[in-house]
Amino acid sequence: MHESGNSLEPSRQPVRAFVSLGSNIGDREENVLTAIRALQDERTSLVAASHLYETEPIDLEDQPWFINAVAELSTTRTPRELLKRSHQVEQSLGRERDVRFGPRTIDIDLLLYGSEILSEPDLAIPHPRMTERRFVLVPLVELAPNLVDPRSGDSFADVLERLDEGKKVLRSAITES
């Protein structure tokens, strides 16, 4: 019997996954761009990244605005491995989890993993609040305008059009590299 990750284990087929990234502490833009680069390795590659967006905070509103983006990845990692890798990147960029929804150097959320629907105590796919958040849907729809929510069958573009959250999401004028 082989342990998980053993090189004798059959390789997984790449899966299309989407992550949301956000930062409102320090060099917000650089934090997001660095996190996108750091997620890439021999098992995960970047397919595309959205523009950067300056976004109004939600939940805990008394904090600086965020820079947000969505990245499309091709990965052979399992959802749990991709979540673990995201947490490692967050930690390497100084993420502290003191205040829920509070300021952070970087936040990486796993939004979608193929068409999987997963509901576990510490991992839900699709992300449970993504359809309520303009700062996620605007860059997601920019990247994949025809992408469909595996739970409802609705296109995310239609979900965004119906969303009446009232928070500002402004395409950043920052030059992205």
Task: List residues with catalytic annotation.
Answer: 95, 104, 107, 109
Q: Give the number of other CB atoms < 10 A from CB of residue 104.
A: 23
Q: Vertex 117, ends 168 and 43: CA angle to 5°? A: 85
Cα separation values, 117 from 10, 38, 114, 174, Å: 23, 26, 9, 35
Q: Which of 37, 122, 25 is closest to 64 using CA atoms? A: 25
Q: Are 53 and 166 within 8 A, CB to CB?
A: no
